[in-house]
Amino acid sequence: MSDYPVYVLQRWDDTSEAWEEHGEFTTSRGRENADYAVELERLYNTGPIRLLKDGVPVIADDPNTHSLHGA
């Protein structure tokens, strides 16, 4: 087992209506790498995302209220 927390980045998929994993970060730089991945997702407005730390949400967009078009 790793000595570091496990960060998992997930993105909402409208087609399957489920969260899909888009990255796992487990090293000593896991938090920094996860934060960078979140920044990129926000920059490119990929849709609802969530970031889990050892299975617990740290960031959690609501797919029902999130808008790709800024409505």
pLDDT tens, residue by residue, 18-57: 999 999 999 999 999 999 999 999 999 999 999 999 999 9
For position 1, what pLDDT does the model report?
Answer: 56
In the chain, where are the structural domains located? Answer: 7-60
Residue with tokens 């570091």: 4
- When pLDDT is cut at 50, 70 and 90, the band that residue 68 belongs to is low
State the Cα–Cα distance between residues 53 and 57, nearest whole angstrom.
Answer: 6
Helix (H) or strand (E) holding 36: helix 30-43
The model's pTM is 0.87
- When pLDDT is cut at 50, 70 and 90, the band that residue 66 belongs to is confident
Distances (CA, A) of 59 to 2, 39, 47, 49: 22, 12, 13, 8
State the Cα–Cα distance between residues 70 and 52, nearest whole angstrom.
Answer: 25
Beta bridge partners of 53: 7, 56
